[in-house]
Amino acid sequence: MTVSADVKPKLLIIELWAVGDVVIGTPLLRKACEKYEVTLLAKPFATELRDRFWPEVKVIPFHAPWTAFEFKNKYRLYAWPWRDIFSVARRLVKERFDVAASARWDPRDHFLMKLSGARERLGFPRIGSRIFLTQPLKQADALKHRYESWRILGQALRLDMESSEQVCYPRRGDSRTILMHSGAAQPVRVWPLERFRGLALRLRDQGYEVKILCNPEQQAWWEKTGETNVRSPKSIAELIDLTDSAGVFIGNDSGPGHLAAFCGVPTFTFFGPQVPEWFRPLHPAGEIIEGKACPFKPCSDYCRFEKPRCLWNITEEEAWQRVARFVERQLRREPATLT
C-alpha cells in the first residue's frame, strides 16, 4: 500500500470488545495516526478513551451482538439485530476507507471489514474468513501477549511498532494512595470481596491510604461493611480521574487494570480462569498472582463449577504476602544513590 505525503489514507480499525481489549491497542492507534486518518469501530465507551489516549482517532460507536455476554442468542445468526448491523455497514461504506484492519482472529470482524467496502483488508484468518481479507496475517505465537497481535498488525500497516517491553507509559506522580478495584466484567474473574476487604484493612493498619472502587452491584456490600467512601465509577472518564490520583492499583483481571497501566500506574492483578501471559496489564512494574491449577483452564468467562476454584483458592494470607511486597516496592522505595 502507498501512503501519500499530502493526503493520509483512511484506515478503519475494528475492536468491538471490552475496555481492556481496546486499551491494549493504544500503541497502534497512536502510531497509525502518524500515517493514516484513523477511525475506530468500537463500543461507545471508546469515545472517552479517545479523549485521553488517542484524541486524533474518530470513533464510530457500535454494540456488536456477539460481544454482549448477557445476550443468550449471540451465536445464533437469526437472532442478531441485522438492521443495526447493516446500518453501521452503510455508514462505513460512506466513509470510503482505503484500509480496514482487525487484530482479532474473528470472522465476524472480517465480515464487517468486507461490508465496509475497504479496498485493503488486513486480519488473522479463522474458520474460512480468509475470503474476506486481501492480506491475511500469520497469528502470533500461542503464548504471546494479546498485544503481540496488535504489533503484527501494525507492522503489516508499515508502522514502527514497539515490542511490549518498549511501550512507553506516563510518568507516575507522587501519590501514595492505593486504589483497589474489586469488580470485573464477569463474575468468574472476581476474587472474593471479603478478602479484598481483608487486604484493605491490613494495608490501612500499615499506614497506607486505600480507596475502594467496585462494580455497581458490589457497592451495597462494601457499605454494609462500614466502607464510607466506596465509589462505583459511572463512566470511563470518572474511572480515569480516580486512577490518576493513585500510586498503585490492585484489582482483578479486568479493564480497569489495563486502564491503570496505560495511565502510568503500576498494577497488581488477580488472575483466575484466564492465562496471564495473554492478558496481564503491560506496565513494566506490574505484578500478578495466578489462580490455582485446574484441568479446564483457560476457560475465559465460563466456569463449570459453582465458583471459580482457580481464583477462589487464592487465600487472603497468600495474597497478602505478595501484595505487601508489591506495595512496599512501589510506594516506599528509597531514591537511588548516585555513585
Per-residue pLDDT of 182-233, as tens digits, reads 999 888 999 999 999 999 999 999 999 999 999 999 999 999 999 988 999 9
Q: What are the residues facing 288 on neighbouring strands?
A: 269
Element of type H or E holding 248: strand 248-252
- Residue 193 is predicted with a pLDDT of 98
Please check whether residues 183 and 317 belong to one and the same domain. Answer: yes
Q: Is the pLDDT of residue 55 over 90?
A: yes
Whether residue 337 is contained in a domain is answered as no
Please check whether residues 181 and 162 belong to one and the same domain. Answer: no
| CA–CA dist 317, 321 (Å, integer) | 6
- Domain residue limits at 236: 177-331
| CA–CA dist 286, 4 (Å, integer) | 40
Cell 504476602 maps to which residue?
A: 321
CATH number at residue 233: 3.40.50.2000
Per-residue pLDDT of 106-122, as tens digits, reads 999 999 999 999 999 99
In total, how many domains does the chain have? 2
Residue at a domain's end among 121, 136, 166 = 166
Instruction: Tell me the mean pLDDT in the region 237-265.
Output: 96
Please check whether residues 73 and 141 belong to one and the same domain. Answer: yes
| CA–CA dist 71, 73 (Å, integer) | 6
- Residue 74 is predicted with a pLDDT of 61
pTM: 0.90
Residues 150 and 27 sit within 8 Å (Cβ to Cβ): yes
Mean pLDDT of the chain: 91
Of 1, 34, 3, 42, nearest in space to 255 by CA:
42
Per-residue pLDDT of 284-333, as tens digits, reads 999 999 988 888 888 767 778 888 888 999 999 999 999 999 999 999 75
Q: Tell me what percent of the residues of the chain surpass a pLDDT of 90.
A: 76
pLDDT band at residue 131 using 50, 70 and 90 as cut-offs: very high
CA distances from 322 to 254, 283, 290, 294, 327 (A): 19, 17, 11, 21, 9
Please check whether residues 57 and 199 belong to one and the same domain. Answer: no
